[in-house]
A and B are shown apart, each in its own frame.
Chain A
Amino acid sequence: MRKTYFDHIAAAPLHPQALKAMLPYLGEAYGNPQSLHSAGQHAAAAVDAAREEVAGLIGAASDEITFTSSGSEANNFAVKGLARAYQARGRHIVVSAVEHLSVLNPVKSLEKLGFSSTTVPVDGTGLVDPADVEKALRKDTVLVSVMTANSEVGTLEPVAEIANVCRARNVLFHTDAVAAAGAVPLDVRELGVDALSLAGDQFYGPKGSAALFLKKGTRILPLVEGGIQENGRRAGTENVAAIVGLGRAAAIARAEMADRASRLEPLRDLLIEEMTRRVGHVVLTGHRTRRLPHHASFCVEFVEGEGMLLLLDMQGVSASSGSACTSKSLKVSHVLLAMGLDHALAQGSLIFSLIDGTVREDVDHLLDVFPPIVERLRNMSPLYTQFLKENSR
């Protein structure tokens, strides 16, 4: 059976060159970068080189990059670390309604410490209006965090415009670019952001490799305190192999980003067009054109996501969903609800995110096996029966 992998947002395969670069640091090159001896200095040089590569991916300077263990850690670090470092300016935070939980939950925990927050809405395509961000700013606003791209619906947010609004009011701006970095061109100077999170596993680097960009001169309180690693911003012995893999993946992404997008975008567009044409009552979620080049997401009416995922898996297709049943929290995706979808429709969520190497035949396979799956589940759905009854009247 043909195996087709459409779950890039969950995990992308490690690039063979990144793996090759990492291997020595899982083997003979085991020195601690903080050590003075040559084994340590060899590892330190590898970490420095990786920092250069990661900085290069987003147009930053290498001393503006702090390595973290995950995109979630980078987001936690930015939100908690910046809000607490600058709380003398005020204790109000602004976020969008579709942020990742690793932004939203730190804001919640800051609220327990006396901070307050405002959530900016999105439109039906998941877009934040910069004017809404401006309206949400108060005298005591210290930080705004709006993501670069949403991993559930693929929408690319107007980050540069929002950064403009924040800069004019002397408010710090962080963007969670975990879903976007390595997939679309990002330049921190052009965007005008103060902080940006990225994760290697989203651009064919290893899991457990991520970074936070912090504009030079920006203060931050560390989450992990201890030694002087990462310039005192994050204590703990460096995960040298992961950092080296991240650096290599960043260098490759920088060189190949445009090529990758030009291969994946036509497949994404084919998937969006054909899916909505071949299956009735399917809606695209997110923006039609302002979206990640490898991302197609839908809501299928009258059926629930988990059933579709299980049946797709039996046909060799890996995908994901934002339905309540597929989440450990037993709640439907807050992103879909924020976009105004009702619960029943949101339960039919499906996300297809393409990895580099996906070919036309993979998309054709998905388009062949999917319609019968939907038909099968609809035939046992009381919601579909009810819909047919109401429509026949």
Chain B
Amino acid sequence: MMYSDKVMDHFQNPRNVGVIADADGIGQVGNPVCGDMMTFYIKVKDDRLEDVKFQTFGCGAAIAVSSMVSEMAKGKTLDEAMAITNSLVAEELGGLPKNKLHCSNLGADALHAAIENYRLRLKTGGKAAPAAAAAHEHEEGACPYCEGTLEEGQKGYCGACQVDLEECPSCGGITKKGDGVCIHCGKPLRA
């Protein structure tokens, strides 16, 4: 099996699936081009995450990541939750296949977007509305298609899987040259 036991457990028995109707903050990340979309709902009490719920469209890894993030975040203060990173989530899950690290490991981004959405509301008094995550943090020097590491100054090509690569002008992610759309953000690439 390509996934760890922990990933399979969270995929089969995802924690905290659902929608919070009167959420204090909502965050969204992903798009159908990459195949993964996550929506996080939070309920905040005394600066703590009293409840976290999510919905995810995506692969086994994306569902497991969302579940793990919700579990890690619940009960934490907002600042503590903001310190949860995508790589911490992957570590908690006992690792993810390398090609899933980049496209499916978006849970922390969606959670952070929900917290930002809540904080913005505190200032402006608006309604909780789905807020898009800021640009996804990209792991430096890793090929998204294989286990390979890109050599310094060789960002345009992965020697391990022999794929021509380019940096997406919209999100900065490394994606395959000539694919037309970025595998991270789904935005069109320059011709």
> Are the CB atoms of A310 and B57 closer together than 8 Å?
no
Q: Which among B28-36, B85-93, B119-127, B149-157 touches the partner chain?
A: B28-36
Residue of B nearest to A348 (CB): B57
A interface, over-half SS: loop
> Are the CB atoms of A380 and B35 closer together than 8 Å?
no
Kindly provide the distance from the CB of A88 to the nearest chain B CB, expressed in whole angstroms.
29
Interface residue B183 (Cβ < 8 Å from any Cβ of A): yes
Q: Please indicate the chain B residues that have their CB under 8 angstroms from the CB of A135 in the complex.
A: none
> Are the CB atoms of A343 and B57 closer together than 8 Å?
no
Total B residues in contact with A, Cβ cutoff 8 Å = 36
CB < 8 Å neighbour of A330 from B58, B60, B183: B183
Give residues 296-338 of A contacting B (CB, 8 Å).
302-304, 306-307, 310-311, 314, 323-326, 328-332
> Are the CB atoms of A325 and B59 closer together than 8 Å?
yes
Kindly provide the distance from the CB of A363 to the nearest chain B CB, expressed in whole angstroms.
25
Q: Please indicate the chain A residues that have their CB under 8 angstroms from the CB of B58 in the complex.
A: 304, 306-307, 325
> Are the CB atoms of B35 and A304 closer together than 8 Å?
yes
What per-residue 1/0 map shows which CB atoms of B93-106 lie under 8 Å from chain A?
00000010001100
Give residues 273-306 of A contacting B (CB, 8 Å).
302-304, 306
CB < 8 Å neighbour of A332 from B17, B35, B56, B144: B35
Q: Please indicate the chain A residues that have their CB under 8 angstroms from the CB of B28 in the complex.
A: 382
Q: How many residue pairs between the two chains, A and B, have CB atoms under 8 Å in the bound complex? A: 86
Interface residue A347 (Cβ < 8 Å from any Cβ of B): yes
Kindly provide the distance from the CB of B59 to the nearest chain A CB, expressed in whole angstroms.
3
Q: How far is the CA of A328 from the CA of B28 in the complex (A)?
A: 25
> Are the CB atoms of A383 and B37 closer together than 8 Å?
yes
Kindly provide the distance from the CB of B8 to the nearest chain A CB, expressed in whole angstroms.
8
CB < 8 Å neighbour of A328 from B31, B59, B145: B145
> Are the CB atoms of B55 and A381 closer together than 8 Å?
yes
Residue of A nearest to B18 (CB): A380
Contacts A306-B60, A310-B60, A323-B35 given; indicate if A329 touches B176 (C-beta within 8 A): yes
> Are the CB atoms of B39 and A382 closer together than 8 Å?
yes
Q: List 20 A-B contacts (CB under 8 A).
A: A306-B58, A310-B8, A310-B11, A323-B35, A323-B59, A324-B103, A325-B59, A325-B61, A329-B145, A330-B34, A330-B99, A331-B179, A331-B183, A343-B31, A343-B32, A343-B186, A380-B54, A381-B55, A381-B56, A382-B55
Enumerate the 9 nearest inter-chain pairs by beta-carbon distance, A residue then B residue, closest first: A325-B59, A344-B32, A306-B59, A324-B35, A382-B55, A343-B32, A382-B39, A380-B17, A381-B57
